[in-house]
Structure 1
Amino acid sequence: MSGTSLDGIDVALIRTDGEALVERGPSHTYGYDAAFQAMLKQAIADAADMTGRAARPGSLAYAERWITERHATAVRAYCRDKSISISDIDVIGFHGQTVVHRPEIKLTVQLGDGRELAKALGRPVIHDLRAADVAAGGQGAPLVPVYHRALAAGLPERPIAFVNIGGVANVTWIGRDGELLAFDTGPGNALINDWCKARTGADYDEGGTLAAQGKVDHAALAQLMGHPYFEEPPPKSLDRNSFAGLQLDHLSDADGAATLLRFTADSIRHAVEWLPEGPQRWIVCGGGRKNLALMAALEPGFETSEHAGFDGDSMEAEAWGYLAVRSLKGLPITFPGTTRAPEPMSGGVLAEP
């Protein structure tokens, strides 16, 4: 179960042994209303100066209670809608809402009370899946690569790459012998969404229509691509607001959207320079795959997860179920090549009902 975005909660059901067996079930997204999204944005702002994981300054304690309750409500609704008994669920993987991610100071905070969720639903919950990796000096992200590898087991191409375009974009590279390399490539949808909200009031650029009407400001794009992050070797990770404060006020609505869209596309393409071998196949998942202008900027060679036989909306939620099972079995969920962990590491905290 994933609530990593500000849009809503994705719930998905899978049957898995945490290794090769993956049977994907139904999924559903339960959207957040505007008031709840505003509360989450305030929580992120209130978390900006956090230095300890246990602190809950400003609105964070209030937000955490409501995030937990929203997830419990989503699971109940999902089970009702899909005619599933909650008692048949063996374990729930709970991500929570990231409000700060600063691995350079060994700090990552996801709001959501796993113990209260387990109590509310009467089922075991695995939560806090990033903390152990960050505490050991890893980046704590991305966590989905080991699930990408399980999905790729049914595909013949190697090397193969999965690109997830959420608020931040990241890539998983899977080598010929199953080797993993993963890292955040740069911005995903967050900058474009924030631009649209500020300029037009829309939550996002649906289909990339605004960007398609504009022209890229190449001087601004060069400045954006000059960010020192792009010269850091992977594995590496970003916070949603790592590129906040960009000065594009001189651009029109459409030109700003076009420039930010190209920034996302170029930073994803730039990631190829860090890969040991060029992928034979690129599979795009996450909300960014629905942005037609962005997909056009990435082509040729990039295909949507649906084209490859997967559900791009539910993949991250499925991954959290997969990771929860790996956590229960003590199997590694992060690796030196995915988070810069010192060794393959398990993680997560088990909350019993």
Structure 2
Amino acid sequence: MIKENYRVIGVMSGTSLDGVDLAEIEFNLKNQKWSYKITKSETVSYSPEWVIKLKEAMNYSEAELIQLNENYTDLLGELIKSFIEKNEISNLDAVCSHGHTILHQPQNGFTLQIGNLPKIAKIINEKVVCDFRVQDVQLGGQGAPLVPIGDRILFSEFDYCLNLGGFSNVSFEENGNRVAFDISPVNTVLNFYANKLGLDYDDKGTNARSGKLNLDLLNELNALEYYKKPFPKSLGFEFVKEVVFPLIEKHSIKVEDKMHTFTEHIAVQTNLALNKKQGKMLITGGGAYNDFLIERMQFHLPKIEIIIPDNNTLEFKEALIFALLGVLKLRNEINVLSSVTGAKSDHSSGIIYKY
């Protein structure tokens, strides 16, 4: 008989390079409805050396990537092991880990998340469910976004679920299907320019707010080819590096003006991405703390009720949902929706390692 209660750890590292999110989560299935409780959580920041490695890794040779994967799996395994020991966590059903995306090229049938080598299970001495994206790409899908099935299962009371991380992604129901896609870069760009001001990030969007809107730059950003594509579609850091940064850098304007204009761009694209401009929208991810960005979104979406949840859900929603994907994989149930990724069929994705 399949269980109805699970204790797992969800692990997520996002493109904004804030660090590794770890959350102990209890799931309960009652009357065919899942509920969750985040009992312990922590974000472990990367060392400056690891931030540089992860930023530069997309340019690594194959041999360098293989070594990086080995080293990162060791790092991630030790972080998870430390989290378990520090919080005296026991009786786990699994650790469900996303790893860290280095290369994401679904158009070439390729995606790479490091930190998903078999030895991770032995390092932490627990069953591990990981590597959730590869199978979807092999089935012709984008391998992203994977969070929407969690939105449907855990957050069905919202019309839209918007995550503002390194990139923004949204999910919603349309004609009986869950659809989802990446909207635009967010913190991959805003943090880059905050770094130029000597800051890790732009607290509450204060520096962006102080800048001026540059209409030429805004119009060029909004005209990018990606925004005209139909979904399913997804973004990787390659897009930011090869397309967005060169476009912004053509403009000799103040850093604050670039940040202000890009914030407006995010808000405009969010408005364009939503099918019905009304209802309730749950916003999570680090960008939810950016007051200026939220204000600009509200300006463009006056009939949307924006809801920012409790801090645990806000900060650890992706770790929470990858934990759910892991539980569904343990149950051999569908955890990736083809309506979202464009794969040939819905499927149960991920690899299970036993220690």
How many residue pairs were aligned?
A: 332
Name the residue aligned to 1:73: 78
| Partner SS, residue 123 of structure 1 | coil
- Change over 3 Å in CA distance of 1:44–1:20 after alignment to 2: farther
Where do residues 5-44 of structure 1 align in structure 2 (5 Å cutoff)? 5=15, 6-16=17-27, 20-25=33-38, 26-44=40-58
Residue-by-residue CA offset, 1:201-249 (whole Å, 9 max, x unaligned): 3222121111010011111111111011111111111112313333333
Identity %: 27
The answer as to 2:242 corresponding to 1:238 is: no
What letter matches 1:287 in structure 2? G
Give a deviation string over 1:95-142, Cα, whole Å, max 9, x none: 111011111111100011331110111111111100111111111100
Q: Residue 216 of structure 1 aligns with which residue?
A: 213
3-state SS of 1:43 partner: helix
Give CA-to-partner distance per residue, 1:3-46, whole Å, 9 cap, x none. Answer: 12312110112223687323222211111121211111121332
Report the more deviating stretch, 248-257 or 313-322.
248-257
CA distance in 2 between partners of 1:151 and 1:62 (Å):
37
In the alignment, what sits opposite 1:293? Answer: 292
Amino acid at match of 1:73: E
Q: Which residue of 1 aligns with 2:4?
A: none
Q: Mind listing any 5+ residue stretches in structure 2 that lack a counterpart?
A: 1-10
Give the secondary-structure state (helix, strand or coil) at the position aligned to 1:314: helix
Pick closer, same or farther for the CA change 1:283–1:45 going to 2, 3 Å.
same
Q: Which residue of 190, 193, 196 maps to 1:195? A: 193
Which residues of structure 1 form unaligned runs of 5+?
48-55
Map 1:174-323 to 2 at 5 A: 174=173, 179-197=177-195, 199-244=196-241, 245-249=245-249, 250-272=252-274, 275=275, 277-299=276-298, 300=302, 301=304, 303-306=306-309, 311-323=313-325
Judge conservation of contact 1:334–1:341 (CA < 8 Å) in 2. Answer: no
Maintained 8 Å contact 1:323/1:333: yes
| CA shift in 2, pair 1:38/1:17, >3 Å | same
The answer for the alignment partner of 1:50 in structure 2 is: none
SS for the counterpart of 1:344 is coil
Question: Please, what TM-score do these two structures have when normalized by structure 1?
Answer: 0.88
CA 1:29/1:69 → structure 2, altered by over 3 Å: closer, same or farther? same
C-alpha distance 109-17 of structure 1, shift in aligned 2 (>3 A): farther
Which one has a larger percent strand, Structure 1 or Structure 2? 2
**Which residue in 2 is equivalent to 1:52?**
none
Q: Distance in 2 between matches of 1:333 and 1:340?
A: 14
- In structure 2, relative to structure 1, the CA distance for the partners of 1:265 and 1:324 (3 Å cut) is same
Task: Please provide the CA RMSD for this pair.
Answer: 2.0
